[in-house]
Amino acid sequence: MMKLGALDYLIKDAAFIELLPSIVKQVLEYIQTENNLKLYQKELEQSEMRYRLLAESTNDMIDKKNVDARFIYVSPVCKQILGYNENELLHKYIYDFIHPDERDIYEKYHQELLLDSEKSIVKYRFRKRNGQYIWFETNTKVLRNPESNNVVELVSVSRDITEQINTDRLIKEKEAAELANKAKSEFLANMSHEIRNPMNAIIGMTNTLFKTNLTADQQKFINAIKISSTNLMNLINDILDFSKIEAKHIEVNNIDFNIRALIEEIVFLYEHQASEKQLKLLYDIKPNTHCDLNGDGLKLKQILINLVNNAIKFTDKGYVKIVVEQLNESVSAVELKIKVEDTGIGIRKEDFGKLFKLFTQLDSSPSKRYAGTGLGLTIVKRLTEILSGNINFESDYGVGSCFIITVPFNKSNKTVLTYEDLWQETKPHANLDNLQVLLAEDDGINQLYLKNFLQSYNCKVDTAFNGEQVLEKFNSYKYDIILMDGQMPKLDGFETTQMIRQIEKDKNYSPTPIVAITGYATAGDRERFINAGMDDYVTKPINENKLIDIIKKYCKENRKN
């Protein structure tokens, strides 16, 4: 009977009739169990199908590993992510594919999972089929036998986070670079201040001594000190300028300026240096050149000063000439071509490629005739590029050189005074008799030099070594102008200026002109002083003519008011 498909049998014997209900119950339970098994099997198949569909449709790699960390299943997406076929990973240890630097990390992670650790995420590098590594972030769940609690398998979802890791690294590198640049800027600012202070004293005292009664030999010795000090300061300025350019701390500051005035000022600054070598320093501004411009005239001036200084240095006879002509013009802008020509030593053709290279000098031998850092033309090129211009040159060895820059500027809608106009405007106001000056300077030698210099113009000078002394004197006397050092003990120049401006506001005083006299000369320093309430800014070593011009400017305006 059983062979024919019966589930059970019953002997037709009255003694066993009472077993019938029990057998019927067993049969019904068996049928229910079979139905449940079929239902569970169907649900399992559907679940497996959903799982595989999910594994195949996601961009993340899904895998199963046994307790030994061997792959027993990998989703098809591994081909897309890693380049492997499924069979190339199955039954392989995951450690064989992990970067050596992270193998210990992953092994510890795997062991902690087996011990029922709550840690479920790990980051590591996985080797692709082409040998390259990508970063995975893997989240793992442990499947255990409900009866024994033993680990059956580990199911992991791994996401490619290489781009995120690279982005994070770039952000960290950027932050580190910014911190390094900040430290570098702070170092340069501090070095600028610490170097300029003693240089101001050396150059200033040399100028003061030069004005006294000296013998011919003494004049020669003092002049040697002055020339050497100026050369040292030029060297320091080159290094600081280059550092600012490299750190991208150079900003374009557009102002209204007159190109004729700018060229005339450069000629005025260098005509004495040229005449000492019996050179002619000439300039030619071509007709129909639009001279009233708007742009960064200070950087253009720095470019031309470098070129003129170089030309004079490398020329022993003949001339140095600045030529300005207009190339193109629109309604609102012009393009200028500015040439600096000389009849100097010229440049060999084989040296043309070295000319704008960093820290490169055409003659770098120990016996070289011309001193320098090899930074000058590099700075010129970088500044020209910052102004959206170009620089080129022509040269014949033994005949001379010509450096040519082309640079665009906007037209100014104002009429800007020429250098001669400015000279005539300030000339009648050269008398500074009885001008009341408060000089705030914490360096005793610099204070002595500046006090003597101002007194030579018949100024009445009071001095202060710190901000507290400045406030004490300001509250007890009315000054025509205050010359304020930035770095002083007790109260620095910034705090002192802000307190003076508050006192003036509270007591309805007219503002006293305050001019910073400082060794800080890096990018943004001028703005810091102006934002603190100062009117102007002069860097050390002091250009005496510039300082007098600024004093005249602000005292003239103040007395008018």
Give the pLDDT confidence of 83-119 residue by residue, as tens digits: 999 889 999 999 999 999 999 999 999 999 998 766 6
Q: Crossing angle for the helix pair 376-386 and 216-246, nearest 10 degrees? A: 50
- pLDDT classification of 343: cutoffs 50, 70, 90: very high
**Which residues touch 527 (CB under 8 Å, ≥6 apart)?**
none
**Residue 308 backbone class (left: φ over 0; alpha: ψ -120 to 50; beta: rest):** alpha
Give the sheet arrangement for strand 514-518, strand by strand.
Answer: 460-464, 436-440, 481-484, 514-518, 536-539
pLDDT at position 426: 40
pLDDT at 370 over 50: no
Cα–Cα distances in angstroms (integers) from residue 484 to residues 269, 444, 487, in the given order: 27, 14, 9
- pLDDT classification of 36: cutoffs 50, 70, 90: low
Average pLDDT, the chain: 82
pLDDT at 473 over 50: yes
pLDDT at position 147: 79
Q: Position 176: which residue type?
A: A
Section 214-230 average pLDDT: 80
In the numeric block, which tokens belong to residue 209?
């001594």
Cis peptide before 100 (omega within 30 of 0): no
Helix or strand or coil: residue 484?
Answer: strand
Helix or strand or coil: residue 129?
Answer: coil
Q: Give percent of the chain above pLDDT 90.
A: 41
Give the sheet arrangement for strand 121-127, strand by strand.
Answer: 71-74, 61-65, 151-160, 133-144, 121-127
Which of 65-69, 246-250, 364-368 bottoms out in mean pLDDT, i.e. has the lowest? 364-368
pLDDT at 459 over 90: yes
pLDDT at 515 over 70: yes
User: Strands 319-329 and 280-285: what pairing?
Assistant: parallel
**Which residues touch 150 (CB under 8 Å, ≥6 apart)?**
144
- pLDDT classification of 362: cutoffs 50, 70, 90: very low
Cα–Cα dist 141/159, whole Å: 15
pLDDT at 279 over 70: yes
CB environment 292-309: b (16+ within 10 A), e (fewer):
bbbbbbebbbbbbbbbbb
Cα–Cα dist 391/561, whole Å: 46
pLDDT at 559 over 70: no
pLDDT at position 465: 93
pLDDT winner (highest mean) among 128-137, 179-188, 540-549: 128-137
CATH number for 250-419: choose from 3.40.50.2000, 3.30.565.10, 3.40.50.300, 2.40.30.160.
Answer: 3.30.565.10
- pLDDT classification of 43: cutoffs 50, 70, 90: low
Contact 462, 437 (CB under 8 A): yes
Which of 9-18, 316-325, 358-367 bottoms out in mean pLDDT, i.e. has the lowest? 358-367
pLDDT at position 490: 87
pLDDT at 21 over 80: no
pLDDT at 323 over 90: yes
Cα–Cα dist 401/392, whole Å: 11
Section 474-479 average pLDDT: 92
pLDDT at 222 over 90: no
pLDDT tens, 402-440?
999 999 999 988 766 554 554 444 443 446 888 999 999
Contact 265, 308 (CB under 8 A): no
Classified by CATH at the fold level, domain 424-560 comes out as: Rossmann fold (3.40.50)
pLDDT at 373 over 60: no
pLDDT at position 271: 85
**Which residues touch 93 (CB under 8 Å, ≥6 apart)?**
68, 69, 70
Which of 50-59, 135-144, 505-514 bottoms out in mean pLDDT, i.e. has the lowest? 50-59
pLDDT at position 102: 96
pLDDT tens, 287-299?
999 999 999 888 8
pLDDT at position 59: 75
For the chain, domain boundaries: 55-160, 250-419, 424-560
- pLDDT classification of 152: cutoffs 50, 70, 90: confident
**Residue 67 backbone class (left: φ over 0; alpha: ψ -120 to 50; beta: rest):** alpha
Please determine, looking at this structure, whether the domain spanning 55-160 carries the CATH number 3.40.1380.20: no
Which of 6-10, 384-388, 436-440 bottoms out in mean pLDDT, i.e. has the lowest? 6-10
pLDDT at 256 over 50: yes
